[in-house]
Amino acid sequence: MQRFTIACAQFAVTPMAVRENVQKAIAWVERAVRETSAQLVVLPETVTTGFTPDCSAEELWALVDTLPGPMTEPVAQAARRLGVYIVFPTYERGPERGVVYNSAALFGPDGELLGRYRKTHLFPTERLSGGGWSTPGHEAVVVETPLANVGLTICYDGDFPELYRCEAIKGAEVIVRPAALLRSFEIWEMTNRARAYDNHVYIAACNAIGPDAGGNYYFGHSMIVSPIAQVLALARGTEEIIAAELDPDPIRYVTYGARTPMIFDHLEDRNLAAYEGILTPARSRFEPARRIPMRND
C-alpha cells in the first residue's frame, strides 16, 4: 500500500432518475478531486436510483444496466479523464429479467472496470425472496491496485464481521462501504469502527443523504476510519465531501495519540480451532418483531 488520499462524496440523488444521477455523481467526483486531490472517490449505495425503488424487480431490471454498460460509460470516462479510482454503486441488471443485483463497481484511472461486487447480505426488505427486488451475490471481492488492495462491501454487509474478515484474509488494506443506512448513528459508527479494528484495515463508509422513492430519508455522516479505530474524517447530515490521507504504516502503535508499540495482529493471532462452528446455520435466541425468510439463491 502507498500513501494516498481517499474521499467520500455524500450527496442526495433524485429518486429513480438514472441519467440525472449519473451526471450528478460525476460532478461530485470532479469536486472531490478538485478540492481534496483524492485518488480514490467512494459514492453512496445505489447512487443511480436511491435505495428503495418505486417499481417491481422487472421494471427496475429494465431501468438499470449491466456492468460495464452504457449506463456507467460516463463514469468510466470520468475516471479516465481525472486519472482516479471511482467506487460507483448501482443496481445492476442481471442475466434474466427481474434479476437485479445491488452492486458496487470499481473503475480505474484508465477507465477500465477493475472489480464488481454484488451485495452478499441483503437487507430483509430488499430481498427478492422476501417480497423485495434484489438478488444476492455470493463472493467476497478484493481488488489489487497500485494504491492499495481494496475490498468492496455494501451497507448491511457491515453488520457481518465474517465478510470483512474474509476480505482481510484475502489481503484487503482498505475496505469501502457504500451505504443507505437508516437505523442510527450509533450503529453506523460502531460497525464501521469495529470492522476497521477487527481486521486492521481502513474503512471508507459513504452513507446516503436525503430521500428515496420509498419515502426514507438518510442521515449521511459518512466516515473514514483507521485500522486502530480512529475516525479520520466525519461528515454531517448534509451534502458534503470528506477526505483523509491514508498512512501505509498504520498499526505501529496500539491506539491513536499513544507511543505504546503495537504487539498484536488480529489476523495472525486468531485461534482457528475455536471457530469450528462458524459456518453452522443459526438463529438468534431472541425473536425479532417480524422475520423475513433468508434464502441464498
Residues noted as catalytic:
45, 119, 155
Contact 51, 214 (CB under 8 A): yes
Residues 6+ apart with CB under 8 A from 197: 227, 228, 229, 266
**What residue has cell string 470483512?**
164
SS3 60: helix
227 contacts 197 by C-beta, under 8 angstroms: yes
Using DSSP's 3-state secondary structure scheme, residue 232 falls into strand
Beta strands in 133-258 (DSSP E): 141-144, 149-152, 174-179, 202-207, 209-211, 217-219, 223-225, 231-234, 240-246
Q: Count of alpha carbons within 13 Å of 19, Cβ hemisphere only?
A: 1
Contact 168, 200 (CB under 8 A): yes
User: Running DSSP on this structure, what letter comes out for residue 289?
Assistant: S
Residue matched to cell numbers 423485495:
132
CA distances from 281 to 12, 277, 278 (A): 38, 9, 8
User: Is 77 in contact with 64 (CB distance < 8 Å)?
Assistant: no
Characterize the bridge pairing of strands 217-219 and 209-211.
Answer: antiparallel
Query: Cell triple for residue 10?
Result: 455524500
3-state secondary structure of 10: strand
